[in-house]
Amino acid sequence: MAKEAQLQQLQQIEDKLRKLLSRYADVQQQLSSARDEIKLLETQLNEKDQQIKNFQNQENIVKIVDTIAGNPANSTELKLKLNEYIREIDKCIAYLRD
């Protein structure tokens, strides 16, 4: 009788182990899915950040253009400043290429 009880206990342990392994596999799958979703959300966040930067740059350009169009006295000075910025940007681009 003791042997039969031990076999039954062993069977229960095996059943519990199978359930545990099954749960472990499920959790691993959920973790993998969560990591994939995090990567996707990080990519989307980076894209949105870039869009925001582009919009801010466009807003700055619009302000400069409005200033130039609004006040002819400052127009020449602003054009010179813009040309200076463009030359600096071109230098930076050339430096980065090297």
Mean per-residue pLDDT over the chain, rounded: 86
| Amino acid at residue number 68 | I
| Mean pLDDT value of segment 31-53 | 93
- Nearest CA-CA partner of 64 in 87, 84, 88, 82: 82
- Long-range pairs for 12-15: beta carbons < 8 A, 24 or more residues apart: none
CA distance linking residue 45 with residue 69, whole number of Å: 36
Place of tokens 């200076």: 84
Query: What's 71's DSSP letter?
Result: -
- 41 versus 58: the higher-pLDDT residue is 41
pLDDT of residue 40: 95
State pTM to two decimals: 0.52
The DSSP symbol for 1 reads -
